[in-house]
Structure 1
Amino acid sequence: MTEPHTRPVYRTALGASDLKTITLLGHDLAEDIMGSVGFGELAFWLATQRRPSPGETRVFEAVLAALADHGFTPTAIVTRLTYLSAPDSIQGALAAGLLGGGSRFLGVTEDTGRFLHDVLESLRGAVPSDEAGWDEVALRTVQEQRAAAKFVPGLGHHVHKAGDPRTPRLMQIATEEGLFGPHLSLFAAIGRVHPDVLGKTLPLNGAGVCGAALADLGLPLPLLRGFALLARAAGLIGQLAEELRHPVARDVFLSVDLNNTSVAPDPFTPDPLEEGRTG
């Protein structure tokens, strides 16, 4: 006997709709969320499927503000140039800028959060209870990275060499809200002890402290870069709005186009140590 056909069911706690209503996170979108829930709070809620406390919302939105726009970064420039090339494709311009969020720009938020989390996991629950204990863990961590010839993610900034102004402010907000957790504690300790190992003082990167704060909020580590991109999307819209009023993309393009110089070919020479290797 043939089994009756059954319709597949795809479960979701996010958006669902019928003829008259839209449900989001178990609430009526129009009646319960629109006009009552801010976008930052909603973004946190969507990612965690739990409504954040006012303190969590404040820290989360401070992170979004910290990462929204940093001026003429590569992500901003490529967004403006893509819009110059294809003004009919606003989504292409935004996508171009977001695709540039990687290890050098924006990606340090995720890299730092993951790095700090891995160190904390290695403690197997033996979390320090005071500043001296955190300094001991941080010192060992920086020494191990130094011995392995590896950088500490989130340590250093190419512009704010005397101190990233976002770092103390975000730490202050987290402290005020009682959300200065183990990731921020470890990162702060790295800031205190690293000169003894490296022989120089480097600032704690603002994007790095954002990663520590997001990790302390319990947000999923694989999504940390996504939150940085969420923030940067707002900044890129601002870049495009300014490009409409005060365009610079054509000047950037012409600066390169009119000032390039033809030179002899420079053939690529493979590294002999890489020859014969496979993925």
Structure 2
Amino acid sequence: MSKARPYSTAISEVHADRVVIRGHDLCSGLIGRISLTEHFLLLLTGTLPSETLRRATDAAMVAIAEHGFVPSVQAARMTLAGAPEALQGAVAAGLLGAGSVVLGSAEVAGRLLAEIAAETDIEAAARAALIRLRETRATLPGFGHPTHKAGDPRAARLVALAHEWGVAGRHIAALAALERLVEPVYGRALPANVSAAIPALLLDAGYPAAALKGIPVLARCAALIAHLAEETERRLGFRLADQAIATLAYDGPAEGTGR
């Protein structure tokens, strides 16, 4: 009799003749039958998603996947320029900067929205949260954008879809309350950006809060692969470095005076 295994996982089981994913036969039950988004949600939650959750997750990932030559893209392309054999390393370089400012801000905004949505009076909770953040000089996650100063069109589209699909609930209401109150509290307009709209839509659709950062990471991974494929034909990585050299001025010790 074999000894009992001391550890376990509920995600997958691999046999010589089959692979089982969350209780589904991979080959006969999943391949060719479900989308990658559905497969991701099955892996994450343990059950095949509702159409509502699938659509919300798809929309969120499409919204955040690509946004020009942002830091993650520049890091990835410059890494591939130096190590053209390491696509996986270049993708990893682009994802390593996912934090509270870039890519990971949806997670931080989600925590704020969940905190407000949990209160009975959403309006009062939103005002109290804004006052607390302003008084402590903490960042208001998911608001303001260096490019979309008048409003992030991606955020507007996701919120509109939440209402169109009948998904909008307390998290969308919390986002709306923050948008109404941010100017009276801060004294200036700070429109919501996509990183606030993503958790508002997803949390109302039933997406697990603990995995919010996974949405921008997974989505941006797709865009990075596209950028890196283009990098093999349009060598922009070294040009980015050359541009930095041409733009930066040196203000250190004069030559010959350094220690």
State the percentage of identical aligned residues: 35
Distance 1:98 1:151 in 2: 22
Structure 2 unaligned blocks of 5 or more = 255-259
Per-residue CA distance 1:218-246 (angstroms, 9 max, x = gap): 33333211221011100101111121222
Unaligned runs of 5+ in 1: 129-133, 267-279
Aligned equivalent of 2:165: 177
CA contact (8 A) 1:56 1:177 kept: no
2:115 is matched with which residue? 118
Deviation at 1:251, TM superposition (A): 1.0
- Residues 191-240 of structure 1 show CA distances to partners (whole Å, capped at 9, x for unaligned) of 11211112211110112211222222333333211221011100101111
Name the Cα RMSD after superposition: 2.1
The one of 153, 171, 188 aligned to 2:176:
188
Q: Does residue 1:82 correspond to 2:79, yes or no?
A: yes
Of 224, 233, 236, 2:224 maps to 236
> Residue 257 of structure 1: CA displacement?
4.2
- Match of 2:33, SS? coil
SS for the counterpart of 2:20 is strand
The CA distance in 2 between the partners of 1:88 and 1:42, in whole Å, is: 29
Looking at structure 2, the residues matched to 142 and 21 of structure 1 have their Cα atoms a distance apart, in angstroms, of 53
CA distance in 1, matches of 2:253, 2:42: 54
Cα distance in 1 for residues equivalent to 2:195 and 2:2: 52
Secondary structure of the 1:245 match is coil
In structure 2, the residue matched to 1:225 is: 213
Structure 1 stretch displaced more, 141-150 or 36-45: 141-150
Q: Aligned pairs, how many?
A: 254
Instruction: Map 1:1-279; keep pairs closer than 5 Å.
Output: 6-8=3-5, 10-121=7-118, 123=119, 126=120, 128=121, 134-257=122-245, 262-265=250-253
Normalised TM-score (structure 1): 0.84
**Secondary structure, in 3 states, of the residue corresponding to 1:200?**
coil
C-alpha separation between the residues in 1 aligned to 2:145 and 2:249?
A: 32
What is the TM-score when the length of structure 2 is the normalising length? 0.90
* Cα distance in 1 between the residues matched to 2:171 and 2:28: 38
